[in-house]
């Protein structure tokens, strides 16, 4: 028995942040989040926005890969669908719905379309698992990009050359600058994270984990594999759709190639590094995945001073760094950074009586 | 309660079950025994819906469930444990047991994402229910937060029983509940099985090789050999059956 953790009600015992160190950690993180747009420079705001968008998508990937145990290498497709659905909705409904409400309708629309696409892409998961499912979802990614680039759809999607994106407008508040958009991204990212955590405190999330850990045992408890696997895909696709919508508002122009296999792999890499099947895993993973290219950029800048030949090998070095990170974590810390931080928080809570 | 009628199942040339028929009486403990490979676990899998028999019917509570998926059968009130423990290893004891109550809960996706409100009320009520009906009952309150992987074998078996109990089943199927246990653990488990029968009036069907346990606690015994049912009756009668002694028990028993 660990002292100092005694609870007298089930409500207190079922709390997620069940000791003061965890509460302090999360409150500190939230304070840091508010400080970014108030005190950060443009570069910090840019990076933070990118992280926020990625975080929502990675949380979605975590639902399906980390919690339900269904491998997917195609989640960039849902980000693409979310982004393009937002742009197309703006262009189509621009005159019909007043500008001040357009964003508030477009985002749920994009999320719904992505969720629907998630159910369709999730269908193979009813038959195949593991590597086979990875290939099936991978092909979904290629199909979606192919359709976006297709000439027939070009009037709506802009085809290969991409399409300009609208500015977000919340009840008349135009989020024209990145600093303003950060508020929207941050609020949605925190809510997304909270919702994911909540999901796994209830029967729905538990059913996902049950399917991951032992599918026949889940079935024997009355969990319909069909229903819950598709639900998992739908939820994770909805998350990616939300990320896609924000992606569209954030960049001035979107291109199909931004949503190719590279993005899918980044999403998977982030959750492996951060910690699969752990809510905060997505947070840590995203921080690392977004920072790695930036760090490489800075280090290269210091050595090469902008030399053209060295700049050429920066991209492959980035890929190698991602690869090394994934392999390293799978070998030495399969539960990711989350595990390291959990261990530290636990040690703090027990200090000075025990360590680890 | 449960009745199996003329059940036949084969894998290629192997006839796993041939015309097995018996019924489990409400509120009683029925045992299925027989040598290894006799088809006991196949019979369990056919009853819980993993195998689809070529012939015959499984009737539960007057309803033909032969064509139902496993999760639908669970919703009707059939729970089971597995011979080689099938707990969810990535979760705590408490979460494993909570999963047993899955079909009794109502929270949907949107309620779950929001949590506060109906989902929280349901979860807290579930926790209180499980604490009283399962955790205290099975005397596992000291390990409720422990991860499954940290538990010894005997306790894992008990947690799996707890998970099945959380379903509040009407039929409880136990596949070798005391396999690999020492005498003390076996006695504990026997006591829990009898307690379940007494307290909740659950109908119990069990596969077991421990003949002392079977003869002591069961009201009815079904004997299988090479997929065929060679005897069925009260323990004393089965113990004296010449065919059963030859096939399984041996002369000394």
List CB contacts (< 8 A) between A206 and chain B: 91, 95, 98-99, 102
Q: What is the pLDDT of residues A214-266, one digit of tens each?
A: 999 999 999 999 999 999 999 999 999 999 999 999 999 999 999 999 999 99
The domain tally of chain B equals 1
How much is the ipTM here?
A: 0.92
pLDDT at residue B102 tops 60: yes
Residues of A in contact with B91 (CB under 8 A): 206, 209, 213
List the one residue out of B77, B18, B83, B75 whose CA is nearest residue B44: B83
Q: For residue B231, which phi and psi values (nearest 5 degrees)?
A: -160, 160
Tell me which chain B residues have a C-beta less than 8 angstroms from the C-beta of A68.
none
How many angstroms separate the CA of residue B252 from the nearest CA in chain A? 39
Task: Judge whether B115 lies within some domain.
Answer: no
Partners of residue A11 in chain B, C-beta under 8 Å: 124
Q: Using the beta-carbon criterion (under 8 Å), do B131 and A231 form an inter-chain contact?
A: no
Query: Band of the pLDDT at A316, cuts 50, 70, 90?
Result: confident
Buried b or exposed e, range B73-91, using 16+ CB within 10 angstroms: bbbbbbbbbbeebbbbebb
- Contact yes or no for B93/B151 (Cβ under 8 A): yes
Taking an 8 Å cut-off on Cβ atoms, the answer to whether B91 and A222 are in contact is: no
CA distance A13 to chain B (A): 10
A206/B98 CB distance under 8 A: yes
Among A64-73, A171-180, B173-182, the range scoring the smallest mean pLDDT is A171-180
What confidence tier does B252 reach under pLDDT thresholds 50, 70, 90?
A: low
pLDDT band at A12 (very low <50, low <70, confident <90, very high): confident
Considering only CB atoms, which residues of chain A are within 8 Å of chain B? 10-11, 13-14, 195, 198-199, 201-207, 209-210, 212-214, 216-225, 231, 235, 277
High-pLDDT (> 70) share of chain B, %? 99
Distance CA B101, CA B110 (A): 19
Q: How far is B199 from chain A (nearest CA, A)?
A: 22
**Distance from chain centroid for Cα B252:** 30
Which one of A195, A203, A219 has the shortest CB-CB distance to B105?
A203
**Per the domain annotation, does B86 fall within a domain?**
no
Residues B32-44 have pLDDT tens digits of: 999 998 999 999 9
pLDDT band (50, 70, 90) for residue A2: low
User: What is this structure's pTM?
Assistant: 0.92
Contacts with A, B 49-78, CB within 8 Å:
50, 69-72, 74-75
Q: Tell me the pLDDT tens digit for each residue of B186-198.
A: 999 999 999 999 9
Residues of A in contact with B167 (CB under 8 A): 221-222
Q: How wide is the angle at C-alpha A192 spanned by C-alphas A191 and A195, nearest 5°?
A: 85
- Is A312's pLDDT higher than 80? no
Nearest residue in chain A measured CA to CA from B115:
A198
Mutate to test the interface with B, among A14, A112, A119, A217 (most CBs of B within 10 A): A217
Q: Is the per-residue pLDDT at A274 higher than 80?
A: yes
C-beta atoms surrounding A31 within 10 Å? 9
Mean pLDDT throughout B198-213? 94
- Residue numbers of the domain that contains B206: 2-77+169-249
pLDDT of residue A307: 65
Q: How confident is the model at residue B253 (pLDDT cuts 50, 70, 90)?
A: very low
Instruction: With beta carbons less than 8 A apart as the criterion, state whether A165 and A152 touch.
Output: no
What's the pLDDT at A304?
Answer: 67
pLDDT at A350: 79
pLDDT over 90 (residue A321): no
Residue B105 lies in a domain: no
**Model confidence at B22, in pLDDT bands (50, 70, 90)?**
very high
Pick from B88, B91, B31, B23: which is nearest to B61 by CA? B23
Assess contact for A172 and A100: CB atoms under 8 A.
yes
Would you state the CATH architecture of domain A19-350? Orthogonal Bundle (1.10)
CB contact under 8 A, B102 and A199: no
More confident residue, B2 or A307: B2
Check pLDDT > 70 for residue A356: no
Quote the mean pLDDT of chain A: 91
Q: Residue B236 is part of a domain; what is its CATH number?
A: 3.40.50.300
Please tell me the predicted confidence (pLDDT) of residue A355.
59
Average pLDDT value for residue range B49-73:
95
The predicted pLDDT at position A1 comes to: 47
- Nearest Cα neighbor of A61 from A284, A233, A194, A248 is A233
pLDDT at A65: 96
- Give the range among A13-27, A86-100, A144-158, A248-262 with minimum mean pLDDT: A13-27
Using a CB-CB cut-off of 8 Å, the residues of chain A touching B70 are 216, 219-220
């Amino acid at each position: 028995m660990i002292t100092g953790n005694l609870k007298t009600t089930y409500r207190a015992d079922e709390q997620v942040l069940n000791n003061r160190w965890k509460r302090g950690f999360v409150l500190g993180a939230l304070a840091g989040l508010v400080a970014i747009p108030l005190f950060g420079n443009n570069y910090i705001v840019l990076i933070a926005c990118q992280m926020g968008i990625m975080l929502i998508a990675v949380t979605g990937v975590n639902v399906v890969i980390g919690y339900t145990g269904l491998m997917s290498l195609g989640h960039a497709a849902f980000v693409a669908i979310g982004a393009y659905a937002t742009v197309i909705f703006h262009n189509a409904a621009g005159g019909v719905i007043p500008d001040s409400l357009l964003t508030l309708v477009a985002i749920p629309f994009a999320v719904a379309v992505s969720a629907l696409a998630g159910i369709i892409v999730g269908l193979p998961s009813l038959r195949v698992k593991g590597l086979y499912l990875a290939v099936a979802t991978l092909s979904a990614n290629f199909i979606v990009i192919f359709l976006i680039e297709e000439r027939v759809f070009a009037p709506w999607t802009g085809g290969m050359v991409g399409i300009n994106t609208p500015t977000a407008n919340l009840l008349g508040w135009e989020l024209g600058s990145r600093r303003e958009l950060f508020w929207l991204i941050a609020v949605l990212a925190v809510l997304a994270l909270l919702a994911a955590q909540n999901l796994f405190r209830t029967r729905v999330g538990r059913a996902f984990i049950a399917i991951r850990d032992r599918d026949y045992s889940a079935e024997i408890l009355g969990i319909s594999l069909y229903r819950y696997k598709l639900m998992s895909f739908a939820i994770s696709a909805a998350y990616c759709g939300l990320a896609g919508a924000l992606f569209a508002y954030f960049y001035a122009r979107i291109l199909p190639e931004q949503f190719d296999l590279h993005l899918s792999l980044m999403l998977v890499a982030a959750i492996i590094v951060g910690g699969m099947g752990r809510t905060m895993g997505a947070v840590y993973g995203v921080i690392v995945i977004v920072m790695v290219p930036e760090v490489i950029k800075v280090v290269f800048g210091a050595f090469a001073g902008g030399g053209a030949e060295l700049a050429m090998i920066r991209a492959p070095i980035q890929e190698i760094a991602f690869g090394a990170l994934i392999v390293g974590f799978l070998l030495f810390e399969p539960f990711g950074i989350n595990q390291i931080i959990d261990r530290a928080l636990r040690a703090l809570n027990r200090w000075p009586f025990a360590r680890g | 309660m449960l009745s199996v009628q003329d059940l036949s199942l084969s894998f290629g040339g192997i006839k796993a079950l041939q015309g097995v028929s018996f019924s489990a009486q409400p509120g009683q403990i029925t045992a299925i025994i027989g040598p290894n490979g006799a088809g006991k676990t196949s019979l369990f899998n056919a009853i819980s819906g993993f195998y689809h028999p070529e012939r015959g019917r499984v009737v539960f509570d007057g309803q033909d469930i032969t064509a139902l998926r496993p999760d639908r059968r669970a919703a009707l009130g059939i729970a089971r444990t597995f011979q080689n423990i099938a707990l969810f290893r990535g979760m705590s004891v408490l979460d494993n047991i909570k999963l047993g109550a899955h079909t009794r809960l109502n929270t949907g996706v949107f309620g779950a994402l929001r949590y506060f409100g109906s989902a929280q009320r349901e979860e807290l009520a579930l926790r209180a229910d499980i604490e009283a009906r399962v955790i205290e009952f099975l005397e596992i309150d000291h390990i409720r937060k422990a991860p499954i992987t940290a538990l010894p074998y005997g306790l894992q078996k008990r947690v799996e029983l707890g998970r099945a109990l959380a379903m509040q089943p009407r039929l409880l199927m136990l596949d070798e509940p005391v396999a690999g246990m020492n005498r003390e653990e076996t006695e504990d488990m026997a006591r829990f099985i009898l307690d379940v029968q007494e307290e909740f009036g659950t109908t119990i069907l069990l596969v077991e090789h421990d003949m002392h346990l079977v003869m002591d606690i069961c009201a009815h015994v079904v004997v299988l050999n090479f997929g065929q049912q060679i005897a069925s009756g009260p323990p004393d009668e089965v113990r004296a059956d010449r065919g059963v002694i030859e096939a399984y028990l041996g002369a000394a028993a």
